Amino acid sequence: MGLVAHAKRELELAGLFEDDPDYDGMIGNAVMELIEAFANQGHSEFSASMVRDIFTRVSNFKTLTPITSDPAGWHDVSEVSGRHMLQSLRDPAIFSVDDGATWYSIDDPQDDRQP
């Protein structure tokens, strides 16, 4: 069974094309659109794995290269936060209180730099 048929069957079994689940069946259709585009690209197993990994990262607003202290990669959110703070333009979970010299991620509870 091909990827498109597999995805369609799984989405149907999960009820994601029906009118009563979240978003009136739009989730199933949106996933099928992505699956069909991916299947039409004709990847090998190796390139398919790379594309899936990269797509997952960028679709979750994660970076592919390290964050830097380049001022062009930050915007000021001080007014919203109530104190001097910058937010990364590349990963919205990353913040800096020292103009990008160091930063922390609110997605990382182990990061001791969080205020």
Q: What is the tens place of the pLDDT at every residue in 44-98?
A: 999 999 999 999 999 998 999 999 999 999 999 999 999 999 999 999 999 999 9
38 to 11, 15, 52, 89: CA distances (angstroms): 16, 22, 9, 28
**Residues 96, 86: Cα–Cα separation, whole Å:** 5
Residue of 69 and 115 predicted with greater confidence: 69
Terminal-residue alpha carbon distance, the chain: 51
Tokens 């029906």 belong to which residue?
18
Residue with tokens 């048929």: 5
Instruction: Please list the alpha-helical segments (H only) found in the chain.
Output: 3-13, 26-40, 45-59, 78-81
Residue 114 has pLDDT above 60, yes or no: no
Q: Quick one: pLDDT at residue 24?
A: 81
- What is the pLDDT, as a whole number, of residue 34? 97
Sheet holding 94-96, edge to edge: 74-76, 86-88, 94-96, 104-105
